[in-house]
Structure 1
Amino acid sequence: MPLELNEHTATLSDVVTVDEVEPLVAWLRATAKPKVNLRRCNHLHTGALQALLLFQPRITSAPVDAFLATQVLPLLRGSSGVSSAESEPP
């Protein structure tokens, strides 16, 4: 399941497609101080990326995927303030 929504944290896993964008946006709108875990995400639809850029949730775990970690995470870090210590794998 690519999108797991909990009370304060969303976990994005594997391939996040256009089908997950609407539920993600609804969750981001409804959640105070949302947090997003990208550790297991391998692909992020541009609509999901736009939602993350718009709502600026705190990124709690960086993606392991090299492209997302090097090209996408820096865009999200600018607004979320995730530290390098938080983004390293356990």
Structure 2
Amino acid sequence: MPIRFEDRTARFEGACTVEEAIPLAEWLGAVDDARLDLGACTGLHTALLQVLLTAGRPIAVPPEDAFLKGWVMPVLGKR
């Protein structure tokens, strides 16, 4: 699974697909002070982006991927 849920941290790895949107939304709703680690993420489905935007949680570890860093992180930072 491209998103691993560990305690209070969700680690995004590789290409994260639409199938992870509902588990991510449920996890974010259940975990206080969730930590989001996008460091190893190489692709983020728009459904996941919508979940992250709605949740309004800060990104603890930004992605290394150039596209995500340059185009997605500025959007996530403007919540």
TM-score, normalised via structure 1 length: 0.82
* 46-55 or 26-35: bigger deviation: 26-35
- 2:74 maps to a residue whose letter is P
Q: CA RMSD for the aligned pairs?
A: 1.0
Structure exhibiting the larger radius of gyration computed from Cα positions: 1
Partner of 1:53: 53
- 2:36 maps to a residue whose letter is V
TM-score, normalised via structure 2 length: 0.93
Q: Percent identity?
A: 38
Partner of 1:25: 25
Higher relative contact order (CA 8 A, sep 6+): 2
Aligned-partner Cα distance in 1 for 2:58–2:34: 6
Unaligned runs of 5+ in 2: none
Larger strand proportion, structure 1 or 2?
2
Unaligned runs of 5+ in 1: 80-90
